[in-house]
């Protein structure tokens, strides 16, 4: 097999026409004239030795070889565009972007970031309050604070803290009904917490009772 690659301009013209289905649109996207695009494609066909388009009057249709070639070429250009986006972000970005669920962003993270930035004034951090779990390869987010099992979708993560629950009641109720042992807690009406997916619910009263050797509620 030949290691010599065809003209990149020809491949670029072919991909643009195959993607858009129009020489005129491809010419506009590439900043060329339609005649120049056609010439590039003609030279490419000579280099690869197969017909990539069928010419039907003024329209072009991909041949079977053209369809096969376009699939691979399109993947290659998608990778090039993604690489260029990464490079541009690295060159132009002057801040760290952090995403967190709105409840965490407003009530907890924003305050901590304010304290941290007072200690590191040379670093800019932008906080996004969003329930959407980002895809780092596609979105301009550097760090994500997730809750529950949502963290498992990421290849790399660190647990910041683990939830713990404890029974509570009003001081007046406790004064009227002293609690001497865990079994006393279970004698009264109990209020629990349940969160819908994707958040994992905290331990239930059953879990708490089992922890203290109580098998019946």
Percentage above 70 pLDDT, the chain:
87
The domain boundary residue, chosen from 153, 186, 201: 153
Task: Determine the 3-state secondary structure of 62 from DSSP.
Answer: strand
Q: Is residue 158 part of a domain?
A: no
Residue 161 in domain: no
For residue 172, give the H/E element and its range: helix 171-176
pLDDT, one tens digit per residue, over 144-153 is 988 777 777 8
The predicted model scores a pTM of 0.42
* Nearest to 48, CA basis, from 31, 63, 29, 59: 63
Neighbours of 12 (CB within 10 A): 20
Same domain, 129 and 178: no
How many structural domains is the chain composed of?
3
| Domain co-membership, 42 together with 53 | yes
Q: Within this chain, do residues 101 and 85 fall inside the same structural domain, yes or no?
A: no
Q: Rounded distance, CA 109 to CA 183, Å? A: 38
Residue 102 has pLDDT above 60, yes or no: yes
Domain assignment present for residue 166? The answer is no
Residues 39 and 114 in one domain: no
Q: Is residue 128 part of a domain?
A: yes
Q: Tell me the pLDDT band of 172, cut-offs 50, 70 and 90.
A: very high
Cβ 167 vs Cβ 211: under 8 Å: no
**Separation between Cα atoms, residue 128 and residue 210, nearest integer Å:** 40
Give me the domain span that covers residue 87: 8-91
176 domain residue, yes or no: yes
Q: Which of 196, 121, 204 is nearest to 167 (CA)?
A: 204
The answer on 49 and 97 residing in a single domain is no
On whether both 207 and 135 belong to a single domain, the answer is no
């Amino acid at each position: 097999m030949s290691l010599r690659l065809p003209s990149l301009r020809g491949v670029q013209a072919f991909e643009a026409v195959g993607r858009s289905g129009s020489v005129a649109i491809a010419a506009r996207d590439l900043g060329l004239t339609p005649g120049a695009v056609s010439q590039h494609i003609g030279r490419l066909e000579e280099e690869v030795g197969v017909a990539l388009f069928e010419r039907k009057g003024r329209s072009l249709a991909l041949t079977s070889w053209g369809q096969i070639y376009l699939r691979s070429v399109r993947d290659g250009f998608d990778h090039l565009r993604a690489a260029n986006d990464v490079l541009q972000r690295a060159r132009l970005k002057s801040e760290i972007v952090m995403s967190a669920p709105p409840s965490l962003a407003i009530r907890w993270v924003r305050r901590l970031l304010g304290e941290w930035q007072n200690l590191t004034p040379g670093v800019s951090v932008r906080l996004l309050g969003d329930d959407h779990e980002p895809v780092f390869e596609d979105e301009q987010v550097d760090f994500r604070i997730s809750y529950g099992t949502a963290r498992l979708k990421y290849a790399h993560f660190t647990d910041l803290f683990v939830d713990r629950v404890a029974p509570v009641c009003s001081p007046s109720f406790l004064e009227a009904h002293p609690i001497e042992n865990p079994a006393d807690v279970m004698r009264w009406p109990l209020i629990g917490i349940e969160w819908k997916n994707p958040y994992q619910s905290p331990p239930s009263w059953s879990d708490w009772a089992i922890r203290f050797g109580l098998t019946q509620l």
